[in-house]
């Protein structure tokens, strides 16, 4: 006599399919807009020269807030919110670009390596 487990009904069999569909919907509604929000924040943070004179710091602050919100949206979209330290990876991207543009501006203005040190 063999012992068989409970048989799956059709509603239980479609449950993984519903779960995948829900994950896809969450990705489309939260993950992709979060990525776009992150990119907008990146532009505001890295290119504060686009702001009016005197508002560069506000532009960078808006960019940082947009990047944080976008990072959380990305993490929710890919279902990795429990591993929130991934935000540091997302935030290292604009910091890298800001550093590169700062060094490039310094060399372009004729400061050379002496003005960086």
pLDDT tens-digit map of 52-102: 666 666 677 788 888 889 988 988 998 888 887 888 887 787 778 777 777
Predicted confidence (pLDDT) per residue in 33-55, tens digit: 999 998 888 888 777 666 566 66
> Which tokens hold the place of 104?
């490039």
The full DSSP string for 48-74 is GGGSPTT-HHHHHHHHHHHHHHHHHHH
pTM: 0.63
What integer pLDDT is reported at residue 99 of this predicted model?
A: 78
Q: How far apart are CA 114 and CA 117, in angstroms?
A: 5
């Amino acid at each position: 006599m063999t012992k068989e487990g409970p048989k799956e009904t059709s509603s239980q069999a479609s449950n993984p399919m519903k779960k995948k569909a829900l994950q896809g919907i969450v990705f489309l509604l939260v993950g992709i807009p979060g990525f776009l929000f992150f990119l907008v924040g990146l532009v505001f943070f890295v290119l504060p020269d686009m702001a009016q004179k005197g508002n560069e710091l506000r532009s960078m602050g808006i960019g940082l807030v947009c990047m944080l919100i976008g990072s959380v949206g990305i993490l929710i979209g890919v279902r990795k919110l429990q591993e929130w330290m991934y935000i540091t990876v997302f935030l290292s991207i604009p910091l890298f670009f800001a550093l590169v543009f700062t060094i490039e501006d310094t060399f372009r203005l004729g400061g050379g390596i002496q003005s960086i040190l």
